[in-house]
Amino acid sequence: MTKALDVRGLTTRFETRSGDVTAVNNVSFSVERGRIMGLVGESGSGKSVTGFSILGLVEEPGHISGGEVLVEGQDLRALKPEALRKLRGSKVAMVFQDPMMTLNPVLRIGDQMAMAVRVHENMSKRAAWERAREALEIVGIPAAGERLKAYPHQLSGGMRQRVAIATALLHRPAVIIADEPTTALDVSIQSQILAEVRRLADETGTAIVWVTHDLAVISSLADDICVMYAGRIVERGTAEDVIAAPRHPYTVGLIGSVPSLHEPGAHLPQIPGSTPQLANLPSGCPFRPRCPRASDLCATEPPLIETGSHSVSCHRPMEAP
């Protein structure tokens, strides 16, 4: 069976006055139907740019300089702009981080959603509103008919994020990219939404790329995990493998700094050093200046080491169990 999403060697560069930056560097991963893949990394590691690159929505001064994005086997990068636009929202959808900003403040929820319905399907306004209402019910919004008539400012943050998710679901896309959609919400609403998303993935078969910098969230939600550092995927595997037996020193550091993944009462180690400047990365492994295991060898490009479905890009990874 073809994978819902297959990204191969995706590379996105920004040409700025202060130098060229490769925000997404030769990124490859795939997600199967009904599965949730967590994309984890520090702020600035290129997670959002990866998401926008998949949809072909990178804005100036950025451009996608290489790679393939296959959605159900179809290469989005080979499509003409107009054909690609028609797939956005219908085959690949995206949800953003800040629910306060993603909805247009001066349009009613129903009008915004109906617009999203009618752009891909020829139907009357009434039918589109009906469709929007159903979508709101699917994500667990009570009194959906009433909500459609509301303006965004009349809804809470959690409610708005559900509206955004419902909008992404309207056309039953093969893939949804969720860019930190719960970061701005408080914990109880966050876990409610996570539960809904899990259920949706199982029921609809939609593949989900869940972007976050919060490893705790991802460890309970995701089936697979990709760890991103300075624009590259440094480790990739099933959630159990990556959490229980991390192999990249960066992943080890990340897991070490999450309280719930750690022995209670123990000292929480932080990863030393600061997030890298993409404009001037060291040669070889970008993690080198902060890596406790670094050696001279690391000044050269690290190899990709694969053991089964678990792969890591490192000269001296932790031992496989």
Partner 1 sequence: MLGFLVQRLLQAVVVIFAMSIIVFLGVYAIGNPIDVMIDPGATQAIRQKLIEQYGLDQPLWQQYWTFLSNVVHGDLGTSMVYNVSVIKLVFSRLPATVELVFVAVMIATLIGIPAGIYAGYRPNSLLARAIMALSVLGFSVPTFWIGMLLVMAFAVNLGWLPSGGRGDVSSFLGLRTSLATVDGWRHVIMPAFNLSLFMMGLLIRLTRAGMVEAMQTDYVKFARAQGLPDRQIVFSHVLRNISIPIVTVFGLELGSTLAFAVVTESVFNWPGIGKLIIDSILQLDRPVMVTYLILVVILFVLINLVVDIVYAQLDPRVRLKGGK
- List residues near ligand SF4 by CB under 6 A: 248-249, 285, 287-288, 291, 293-294, 298, 302, 314-316
d(CA 253, CA 272): 9
**How many residues of this chain bind ligand ATP (CB under 6 A)?**
16
Output the CA–CA distances (angstroms, integers) from residue 3 to 40, 69, 74, 95, in the order listed. 21, 11, 10, 21
> Helix axis angle, 125-138 relative to 109-118, nearest 10°?
110
Task: Give min distance, CB of 180 to ligand ATP, in A.
Answer: 6
- Of 195-234, which residues contact Mg ion (CB under 5 A)? none
Beta bridge partners of 36: 208
Least distance (Å) from ligand ATP to the CB of residue 184? 12
Q: Of 5, 23, 215, 221, which lies in the binding site for ligand ATP, with binding defined by CB under 6 A?
A: 23
Does 288 help bind ligand ATP (rule: CB under 6 A)? no
290-50-116 Cα angle (round to 5)? 150
> Least separation, in Å, of the C-beta of 114 and partner 1?
11
Residue with tokens 């053991």: 307
Q: Which is nearer to ligand SF4, 168 or 314 (CB)?
A: 314
Q: Could you say whether residue 182 binds Mg ion (CB under 5 A)? A: no
Residue 278 interacting with ligand ATP (CB under 6 A)? yes
- Residue 79 interacts with partner 1 (CB under 8 A)? no
Start-to-end C-alpha separation, the chain = 30
Residue with smaller CB distance to partner 1, 162 or 315: 162
Q: Is 172 in the site for partner 1 (CB under 8 A)?
A: no
By a kind-dependent CB cut-off of 5 to 8 A, residue 314 interacts, out of ligand ATP, ligand SF4, partner 1, none, with ligand SF4
Distance CA 38, CA 214 (A): 10
Residue 73 Cβ vs partner 1, minimum distance, rounded to whole Å = 20
Alpha-carbon dihedral 146, 147, 150, 152, rounded to 10 degrees:
170
Residues 6+ apart with CB under 8 A from 124: none
CB of 286 to ligand ATP, least distance (A): 12
Nearest to 318 by CA among 254, 223, 228, 232: 254
Q: Is 25 one of the binding residues for partner 1 (CB under 8 A)?
A: no
**Residues counted in the chain:** 321
Contact 243, 260 (CB under 8 A): no
Using CB under 6 A as the binding rule, whether residue 11 contacts ligand ATP is answered as: no
Which residue in the set 22, 48, 190, 219 belongs to the binding site for Mg ion (CB under 5 A)?
48
Question: Which stretch, 2-10, 36-44, 115-123, 224-232, contacts partner 1 (CB under 8 A)?
Answer: 115-123
Distance CA 179, CA 258 (A): 20
On the 0-12 / 13-18 / 19+ scale of CB atoms within 10 A, 142 is exposed
Applying CB under 6 A, the residues found at the interface with ligand ATP are: 14, 16, 21, 23, 41, 43-49, 61-62, 213, 278
Applying CB under 8 A, the residues found at the interface with partner 1 are: 55, 57, 85-90, 93-94, 96, 98, 101-108, 115-116, 119-120, 151, 153, 164, 167-168
